[in-house]
Chains A and B, each alone.
Chain A
């Protein structure tokens, strides 16, 4: 894709990056508070940080002991 086009539409991409970042931070903060998770905590940190969007969501839906 042209750099020009990318620059022109960059403002539209920023909110999406912010949502991803907010999700990641929320998931990490929540993980720190949890006494126990399904599976090791360090693995969840990797999932949350390295898998965009899906990682934090997976953690919220599957990772926490209810």
Chain B
């Protein structure tokens, strides 16, 4: 066997272990539950906000001011909820990935076996990707179905693209948090670094000119798709930038991790 195929086999084993870990620590359950919950309640809330308002004594007159809710409102709710809570989950659940194992000393134990460090890191990233793909997939199906029942047919092409953009947004923060988790000595330090990096990325969105390249550009594009604006103004630059941030975070994390004493 070549060296690569040995390392690859180790990576596959490590990824399987990480996936099991995601299920056993209930992270899988948490992410799926939160995403599906917002997938289902976003169209419901969009539909019934005027009804709810009109049932509150004294607020009836405001109900008339709200225009008849539409698919665009359902999509706006969906994007807003998933990006906000997805961001929090990505940082909260990802911060301990490497730092937690360093703290508990399990990283040293695992790495003393012939597990290459790239496989250790990448398996953690891939397992989280799998969790978010699964959760977002189920949430999207639910949101599609509820929107269809409450409002009518949604354009499938835009909805799929919209969800891919949300996924890329989430994975950007997963990657940045993983980098933070490698840089930090403890889980709380990792949380600080990961959160700091993520907030910087969010703030970068308000810079003039280059702002639209920040991950927020992905959400802007997704919102336009959700609102059914035609023609949409595609933020290809934000997609390229998000992919670059993910790649840089992963290679940066590996470069630091290779030289780290665990």
Contact = CB atoms under 8 A, between A and B. Distances in A.
A3 to B, nearest CB: 12
Interface in A1-57: 1, 5, 9, 12-13, 15-16, 19, 22-23, 26, 30, 53, 57
Contacts of B52: 1
Interface in B114-157: 142, 146, 149-150
Interface in B214-233: none
Interface residues of A, number: 17
B contact face: mostly helix, strand, loop, or mixed: helix
Nearest to B29: A26
A60 B96 contact: no
A60 B32 CA distance: 13
B202 to A, nearest CB: 21
B30 A19 contact: no
A61 B96 CA distance: 11
Interface of A: 1, 5, 9, 12-13, 15-16, 19, 22-23, 26, 30, 53, 57, 60-61, 66
Contacts of A53: 37
Contact of A61 (B92, B146, B187): B92
With a 10 A CB-CB cut-off, give which of B30, B55, B104, B142 has the most chain A CB atoms. B30
